[in-house]
Structure 1
Amino acid sequence: MGAFFHADMIAIILAGAVATFLTRIGGYWLVMRMKTIPPRLEAALNAVPAAVLTTLVAPAFFTGGPDVQVAMAAALIASLRFSVLPMLAIGWCAVMLMRYAFGV
């Protein structure tokens, strides 16, 4: 149990928590001080969700096997028509079928 509580590890966790808090509260504080948000800043803030999604999905797509790639493609196509839960179910079914049929 003592191996989990090194002073260095606790310091790293606390430093990460403080950095995360300051980053989040700093952005909020900066935006709240503005009377109006400039159009370029608003466009940049609107692009953040797509950028974050891309950084999460792209590495998995390119480093995963064919089962992951087929599942992501199926989920992408399903997302054009359905909401989130059916899209996840279709992607999950696609990866399970690929793994069962081809032993991937």
Structure 2
Amino acid sequence: MTSFEAIAAGPWGAALAIAAMAAVTFFCRIAGVVVMSRVRITPRMERGLRALPGSIIMATILPVVLDNGLPAMIALTVTVLTMVFTRFDLAALFVGLGTLSLIRALGF
């Protein structure tokens, strides 16, 4: 066993892994700030950047919704419609979760 393997397998292994992940996360975030500080923001790019959080959320949630079938698809549709009409995140969250809870309670 090499010295690195001994350290990684020992009591400091978890702490080193967490420190490494924190460092990588920090450098990724800083790299984004540095790169974007050198880019000229056009109106088209600004629209794209404003749409990015919603795109990331949909890309994260959509596979879970597809795995959980029709009740989850209905709840997601209701959530998106609530967000479109109210523009209030918490309202959309509560309505979506309430819809899914109601559908599940009804046995679907």
TM-score, scaled relative to structure 1: 0.73
Given that 2:66 and 2:72 are in contact with CA atoms closer than 8 Å, whether structure 1 keeps it comes out as: no
Query: Structure 1, unaligned stretches of length 5 or more?
Result: none
| 1:89 aligned residue | 94
Give the one of 27, 30, 37 matched to 1:25: 30
Question: RMSD between aligned alpha carbons?
Answer: 2.5
Aligned length: 97
Amino acid in structure 1 at the alignment position of 2:82: A
| 1:58 aligned residue | 62
Greater RCO (Cα-Cα under 8 Å, separation 6 or more): 1
Q: Tell me the percent identity.
A: 22
| 2:53 aligned residue | 49
Deviations 1:10-32 (A, max 9, x none): 22211110000001112212333
CA spacing shift, 1:6–1:47, aligned 2, 3 Å: farther
Give the one of 7, 15, 28 matched to 2:12: 7
CA spacing shift, 1:95–1:47, aligned 2, 3 Å: closer
Separation in structure 2 between the aligned mates of residue 95 and residue 54 of structure 1, nearest angstrom = 17
| 1:37 aligned residue | 40
Query: Structure 2, unaligned stretches of length 5 or more?
Result: 1-9
Amino acid in structure 1 at the alignment position of 2:14: M
Amino acid in structure 2 at the alignment position of 1:25: I
TM-score, scaled relative to structure 2: 0.70
